[in-house]
Structure 1
């Protein structure tokens, strides 16, 4: 249990680290649906980029942790405003970000797909430092949290 708590504290630190390299005109992060960073194999995952007020067209881009010919033809292999992976596999794990034709990039999100039986359910959206974050573990097939804790300022 203490190991899980330590891992979650590190995860919260990563979520709350401010990123000052992006302007207000760029999307902060891609939008992930369902709104989390970890997924079970065979789940559907959608990634999209919001359009800004200018005419810049943002496209979903990615860099997979492992290259696989099976992913070469899925919906996210071609840059587009959004993409959906109907059946995610571990080989879909990697960095996903938004990029426009001028080469401007949003912050990347690390999406992880596992064949395991438990994942961490936490929002993919940025969290302001000092905010309360609820972390839940989801067991495959049940979608019911079996552990929940609230964190604020690195304390629970």
Structure 2
């Protein structure tokens, strides 16, 4: 009985620690971009905690065309360099990358692509924190930023500039973005993701670099003879965040659950050794206690005694 109780308690602690690990490990992308030129770019991926430190027991993986692959494996992708997975882009590719632990826990997916188009859009690969500023740029193969048109979900954001800044991003700013020039045409499309600010610590909100996707038709952007300027609609008001109270509730549950489970197991052990007998109008409560009083050639000798707790 004692062995089973200890085993159950140990399993509970492992599950609680595993739950905490799932929420704190994420995929780090350096540089934090979604779009790269094939044949001339590389990116470093690693599994990190909230403080940006690499964690052991986690593997960088990717999903492409429905198949899962390991970084550095013979039939996988990339190359291992210390605790990081380095990606080179010899050909055009598009895949989702993520981290997997030895216990089967996984992080959120991050989309990364490579392109042979004349221009790519610099947009963050990682989700952007609400309230941050994000700057989009249109870059050509030689590394220079070019004057371009910037689009979001089919709407022209601006033209005639080398970059476009979205201030105080909100959930309404989430969507597909791309850029285009008259000579090179459109870049691939990329999904800008928005997330709530962290609730566990006060951290500075930093705008992350860019992402990529499919290619729009040439009719999706105006000609250079008559560019049209427009501004993005004002962000919708957001309700006050409630994630702090939810986090505190989960924290208290994780802290006090082991206490209640331990108490319940101890009570279960005690109740198994207590019994009551009644004779007429008088009931007597007994508790069995086992003592090891000696040892003979056959092993330990156990003597069971009964204690009467009635008056």
TM-score of the superposition, structure 2-length normalised? 0.35
Task: Please say if 1:38 is aligned against 2:53.
Answer: no
CA distance in 1: counterparts of 2:56 and 2:143, whole angstroms: 41
Matches within 5 A, 1:1-156: 25-28=23-26, 30-42=27-39, 43-50=41-48, 57-65=57-65, 72=75, 74-75=77-78, 81-91=83-93, 93-146=94-147, 147-152=162-167, 153=169, 154=173, 155=232
Residues 87-120 of structure 1 deviation map (CA, whole Å, 9 limit, x = unaligned): 44213x2000011111111110011111111111
Point out 4+ residue stretches in structure 1 off by more than 3 angstroms.
Answer: 22-25, 71-74, 153-156
Structure whose residues are more often strand by fraction: 2
Q: Specify the structure having the higher radius of gyration (Cα).
A: 2
CA RMSD of aligned residues (A): 3.1
Task: Label 1:63 to 1:44 Cα distance change in 2 as closer, same or farther (>3 A).
Answer: same
Comparing 115-124 with 57-66, greater Cα deviation is found at 57-66
Structure 1 residue 144, shift from structure 2 partner: 2.5
**How many residues end up aligned between the 2 structures?**
127
Gaps of 5+ in 2: 1-19, 68-73, 148-161, 174-231, 234-311
Contact 1:38 1:113 in 2 (8 A): yes
Aligned-partner Cα distance in 2 for 1:104–1:149: 37
CA–CA distance in 1 between the matches of 2:66 and 2:121? 21
Do the aligned partners of residues 66 and 116 (structure 1) sit closer, same or farther apart at CA in structure 2, a change above 3 Å counting?
A: farther
